[in-house]
Amino acid sequence: MRDVIVASGVRTPFGAFGGTLKDFWLPELGAVVIAEAVRRAAVLPEEVDEVDMGINLPGSDRSIARQSMLKAGIPETASANSVDRACCSSMAAITMARRGIQAGDVNIAVAGGTENMSKVPYFVHDMRWGHRLGDVQIKDQLIIADPMTGKPRAVQASDEALEFGIGREEQDAWALRSQELWKEAWEAGRFADEIVGVEVPQPKGDPICFDRDESPRETTLEKLAKLPTVYGSKTVTAGNAPGLNSGASAVVLMGADVAERRSCRPLARIAGWSQVSGHPDKLASIPAAAARKALAMAGLNVDQVDLFEINEAFAAMPLVSTKVLAGGDEERLRRLRDRTNVNGGAIALGHPTGATAARLVLTVAHELRRRGGGVGLAALCGGIGEGECVIVRVE
C-alpha cells in the first residue's frame, strides 16, 4: 500500500459556548480551514480529489462536507463525504481519506471536521402528523448522554475513573495542569503554526480577526474543588471537563509518491492507525485500546512514542488511558503522563466534538516538528463505546 503523508494541518481558534463563533454555520467554519490547509500545502484547489469532513451535531443542516468544500473554492468535480462517528468523526474522516489514497483511488485529499455547539437547535419530535391535547416536549441535543444506556457521559467517565482508583482530586489536578500548560504554550507562541484566524463580522465597523482560543481560564485547585459535580456524576465538574465549543480543523493528505513528485516537505507521515469499539460505558479506557491496536500495527510500544495527545473529553480519559497503557508500572505511568497533552488539552482549549480528533493529529505533528521530529500518537473516545487512534512520524 502507498505511504500517506500529512502535507499541512490547521485549525480555527476554538470558541466558547455562546462566544465569538456562535453565529457561524458549519460550512462557513469548515471552509476556513479547508482553504487554508490547501494553501499551506501549496496545492491548487483543482488538484484536490476528495474532501472528508466530520460532524457530530449537524443540527438542521446537511451535506456539510460538500458545502464546506464549495465555499472553500474546491471545484464541484471533487467528491465530498460528511462523516459522523461522534467525537471520533474528524479522525474517521482522516481514515476515510487515507484508505482512498492507499487504494490508489485518491491522490490528494482534505480531511477534518467542523462543529458549532452554540448553534445546535432544540428538536421537537412527533409533531409532523399533529399533536393531541397536552404538553409538547422539546429535546435538547446538548444534554450529552449515551443513547443506548441513557447514562450521561459524565457519569460514565466518573464511574470508570473510580474503578481505576482515580478520584476527584486527581481529575481536578489534571484539569489545572491543562489550563496551565495551555497558557504556557500560548505565551510561547506554540500554537502559531496550527491556528488560522477567523474574520468575524461586526454590527458596526470592520470585521475582527478571532485568533485565540476562547475557553481557557485562570483557576486554582481550591476553586476547582468548590465546583459541584454535574449530571449525577461522582467526580466530574464543569472544571475538569471541556465546554460546549465551536471550531474547525483540517489536514491535507497525499500519497508519499505524490509528495515526492511535488517536492513537498511533509508535516508528518501516518505510521499507524486503528478504529476500535467496546462497551458503551468504557469511554475512559477506549483510547488506550485504540492506542494499543495502532501501536501493534506500527510495530511500536508506548516507550517509543515521544508525544501523546489523548483527548480530554473529561480529565478521566487521559488519566485512565495512560494508566492502562502503563500496565501497572508507576515509573512508566509518570513518564507517559509527562509526554501527554504537553500544551494542554480540551479542558483548556475546547472540544468542538466533530473537529477535535483532527486537531489532536495536527497538534502532535506540529509540536513534534517544533521539537525536531519523533513519533506522536493521537487517540480519543467517541460515541457508543468507540475509539480511534492515529500515529504519526515526523522526520
- The active-site residue, picked from 88, 264, 366, 381, is 381
Q: Is 366 marked active-site?
A: no
385: left (phi over 0), alpha (psi -120 to 50) or beta: left
Query: How many helices (H) and strands (E) are present in the chain, helices listed first?
Result: 12, 13
Strands 79-83 and 50-54: parallel
Catalytic annotation, pick one of 88, 351, 366, 389 = 351
**351 has catalytic annotation:** yes
Q: How far apart are CA 116 and CA 16, in angstroms?
A: 10
The one catalytic residue in 87, 88, 264, 389 is 87
The yes-or-no answer on residue 381 being catalytic is yes
DSSP 207: P
For residues 307 and 329, give the distance between their C-alpha atoms in angstroms, rounded to a whole number. Answer: 18
Identify the H or E element spanning 175: helix 168-187
CA torsion angle 356 362 366 368 (round to 10): 100
Produce one character per residue of 330-343: b if its CB has 16 or more CB atoms within 10 Å, e if not: eeebeebbebbbbb
* Catalytic residue numbers, as ranges: 87, 351, 381
